[in-house]
């Protein structure tokens, strides 16, 4: 293991987003995320958290402004280069977005298969992830046969299985019991300690207290506030990286 | 709570820059009837192509047979003089360089040829309708206008009222009709190919619509357009291979059946249209061409649709 302080992982500069001809759902968003930090994105329902996360995980282009990710201009970069950027991200969608006709096992294996990991190499880590989220006995079930909480755990296993550089999670604990919520947060923290930048969107204020070193971004009616000063004066932490 | 990191997340991070598509969305099949649509298209294409190839064989055989043939009609009312002139023409032609063979067609053979139109004739000297004597000559090369002119001069020296015709000129309208039918068969093959491409395009678009969510998820997980296109290519490839095999079998059965029916007619021109080994090889390649067409159509359709997604 060695340590390094990297440059910014995400940079938003005066970003605005509107859908169609409606008013902007995000306005004048500017911030920088640094590697190895743990961020909470908070705000009331309708504040624009999901829209902001969609920009973060490259599902949406902004209406204006500039976004840089991993040192690359994410707005003007050629479309065919997006997949390599996306493979550095892990995403937990609010509505899970599991593939309906694939089993829990195949859903978790999807990021590895997309990246060309051989079948013989993925069986063990996928089974291990499913065991960790307590779904070993449900690995052959398709999403329709799983409860909301089980689907959420599959979605989280899928998001982290490839050890992403940045994990983006939209209300990841919304459908699980308190014990599992704590366990999942500790998983995110562990990943964070391994060098993954974590961004968790939540409206649960109790969750914020459970990660003491976290930085908070607050969205209010599409505008970003900076209650902890983390965005204006971002702490630069040594980031643990494996050789 | 006891916490341990999943072992899947410990150890070195994997390189995720290659691309695979093992079983990404294995369930994303095209619509059910697709193999049958392809089977019908391939069967019709095989039949149309077989017709075209058969017509080509017929035309080639007829052209080979008639290209060096010349017929001389000797129109003379006096039967004895007619026979004399016919023998003299045959003898004169045999002396011409390039003429392989020349012989007067016997009176019995001529009467057999005209019997369908004039009825049975007694063969006596007092015939009511005189029938011309015929001389059949065969040349080494094709009968060009220049060659025909030379032959006419030779023939008229011994039979002034004789008429000299290249046999190929009689079948010009037939060759014209065969040519048209060949083009028609080719057009049918092209149209069936287009129809198959259109059917694949619609099926792929439908499948893309049905699987839109899945495709978006695969995209967001880092899947490339090419990976997604390969899934559809594989799916349509399986359908096209199965449908093509069934279509070829159906088409071949129909062609064999029709071949037997026509062979029963015993007509020379029709018999010469029988399909050879090369023709059957061409027909066997139709499903392969169909498969390539279907896979290419699927790939282009998917890539052109995906480029509109982020």
Do A14 and A28 meet the contact criterion of CB atoms below 8 Å apart? yes
d(CA B62, CA B68): 11
Residue A198 lies in a domain: yes
Q: What are phi and psi of B168, to 5 degrees?
A: -65, -25
CA distance B37 to A196: 51
pLDDT at position A5 is 43
CA distance B26 to B231: 8
Residue A227 C-alpha, separation from nearest chain B C-alpha, in angstroms: 31
**How does pLDDT run across B52-107, given as a tens digit for each residue?**
999 888 888 877 777 788 889 888 888 888 888 889 988 888 888 888 888 888 87
The whole-number pLDDT of residue B32 equals 73
Place of tokens 């072992």: B7
CATH number of the domain that residue A177 is part of = 3.40.50.300
| pLDDT bucket at B126, cuts 50 / 70 / 90 | low
Residue A237 has what pLDDT? Answer: 57
Task: Report, as an integer, the average pLDDT of B122-149.
Answer: 76
Asked if residue A243 belongs to a domain, the reply is no
Whether residue A117 is contained in a domain is answered as yes
Element (H, E) at B175: helix B172-210
Let me know if residue A67 belongs to a domain. Answer: yes
User: pLDDT tens for residues B14-36?
Assistant: 555 555 555 555 544 555 788 99
Task: Give the H/E segment covering residue A72.
Answer: strand A72-73
**Contact call for residues A35 and A165 (beta carbons, < 8 A):** yes
CB < 8 Å to A102, chain B: 25-27
List the single residue in A with minimal CA-CA distance to B23.
Answer: A113
- What is d(CA B229, CA B300) in angstroms, rounded to the nearest whole number? 8
pLDDT digits 0-9 by tens, A41-59:
998 888 899 999 999 999 9
Band the pLDDT of A243: cuts 50, 70, 90. Answer: very low
Average pLDDT over residues A169-193: 83
All domains in chain B, ordered by first residue: 28-63+173-306 (no CATH), 68-170 (3.30.70)
Structure tokens at B205: 């678009």
Query: What pLDDT is stored for residue A242 in this prediction?
Result: 42
CB contact under 8 A, A91 and B220: yes
> Is A32 domain-assigned?
yes
Is residue B209 packed enough to be buried (19+ CB in 10 Å), middle (13-18) or exposed (0-12)?
Answer: exposed
Residue A241 lies in a domain: no
Residues of A in Cβ contact (< 8 Å) with B217: 97-99, 110
- Residue A94's CB is within 10 A of a number of other CB atoms, namely 17
Residue A228 confidence (pLDDT) above 80: no
Tell me the pTM.
0.72
Domain range spanning residue A82? 8-232
Per-residue pLDDT reduced to its tens digit, A121-132: 889 999 999 998
Question: Considering chain A, what is the average pLDDT of its residues?
Answer: 86
Distance (Å, whole) CA A197 – CA A228: 18
What average pLDDT does range A175-200 have in this prediction? 84
A91 pLDDT more than 90: yes
Does A161 sit within 8 Å of B8, measured CB to CB? yes
Does A238 reside within a domain?
no
Q: Flag whether A57 is in a domain.
A: yes
Per the structure, the count of domains in chain A is 1
pLDDT tens per residue across span B256-302? 998 888 776 665 566 677 888 999 999 999 999 999 999 999 999 99
């Amino acid at each position: 293991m060695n340590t390094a302080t990297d440059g910014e992982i995400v940079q938003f500069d005066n970003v605005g987003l509107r859908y169609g001809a409606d008013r902007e759902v995000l306005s004048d968003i500017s911030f920088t995320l640094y590697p190895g930090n743990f961020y909470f994105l908070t705000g009331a329902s309708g504040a624009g958290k999901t829209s902001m996360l969609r920009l973060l995980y490259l599902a949406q282009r902004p209406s204006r402004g500039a976004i840089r990710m991993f040192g690359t201009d994410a707005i003007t970069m050629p479309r065919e280069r997006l997949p390599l950027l996306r493979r550095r991200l892990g995403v937990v969608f609010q509505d899970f977005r599991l593939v309906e006709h694939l089993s829990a096992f195949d859903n978790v294996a999807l990021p590895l298969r997309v990246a060309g990991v051989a079948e013989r190499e993925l069986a063990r880590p996928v089974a291990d992830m499913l065991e960790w989220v307590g779904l070993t006995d449900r690995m052959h079930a398709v999403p329709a046969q799983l409860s909301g909480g089980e689907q959420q755990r599959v979605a989280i296993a899928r998001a982290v299985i490839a050890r992403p550089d940045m994990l983006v999670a939209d209300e990841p604990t919304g459908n699980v019991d308190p014990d599992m919520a704590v366990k999942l947060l500790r998983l995110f923290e562990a990943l964070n300690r391994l060098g993954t930048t974590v961004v968790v969107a939540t409206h649960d204020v109790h969750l914020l207290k459970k990660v003491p070193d976290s930085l908070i971004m607050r969205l209010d009616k599409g505008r970003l506030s900076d209650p902890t000063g983390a965005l204006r004066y971002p702490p630069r932490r040594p980031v643990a990286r494996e050789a | 709570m006891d916490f341990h990191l999943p072992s899947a997340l410990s150890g070195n991070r994997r390189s995720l820059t290659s691309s695979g598509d093992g079983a990404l969305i294995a369930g994303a099949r095209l619509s059910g009837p697709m193999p049958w649509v392809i089977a019908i298209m391939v069967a019709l294409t095989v039949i149309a192509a077989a017709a075209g190839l058969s017509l080509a064989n017929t035309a080639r055989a007829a052209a080979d047979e008639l290209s060096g043939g010349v017929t001389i009609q000797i129109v003379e009312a006096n039967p004895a003089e007619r026979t004399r002139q016919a023998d003299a023409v045959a003898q004169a032609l045999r002396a011409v360089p390039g003429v392989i063979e020349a012989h007067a067609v016997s009176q019995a053979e001529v009467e057999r040829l005209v019997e369908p139109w004039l009825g049975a004739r007694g063969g006596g000297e007092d015939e009511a309708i005189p029938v011309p004597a015929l001389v059949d000559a065969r040349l080494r090369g094709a009968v060009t206008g220049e060659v025909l002119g030379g032959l006419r001069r030779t023939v008229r020296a011994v039979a002034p009222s004789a008429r000299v015709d290249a046999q190929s000129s009689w079948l010009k309208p037939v060759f014209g009709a065969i040519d048209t039918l060949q083009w028609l068969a080719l057009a049918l093959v092209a149209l069936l190919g287009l129809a198959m491409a259109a059917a694949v395009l619609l099926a792929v678009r439908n499948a893309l619509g049905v699987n839109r969510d899945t495709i978006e998820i695969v995209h967001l997980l880092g899947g490339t357009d090419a990976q997604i296109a390969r899934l559809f290519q594989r799916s349509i490839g399986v359908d096209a291979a199965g449908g093509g095999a069934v279509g070829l079998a159906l088409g071949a059965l129909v062609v064999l059946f029709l071949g037997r029916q026509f062979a029963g007619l015993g007509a020379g021109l029709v018999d010469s249209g029988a399909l050879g080994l090369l023709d059957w090889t061409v027909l066997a390649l139709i499903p392969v061409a169909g498969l390539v067409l279907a896979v290419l159509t699927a790939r282009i359709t998917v890539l052109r649709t995906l480029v509109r997604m982020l």
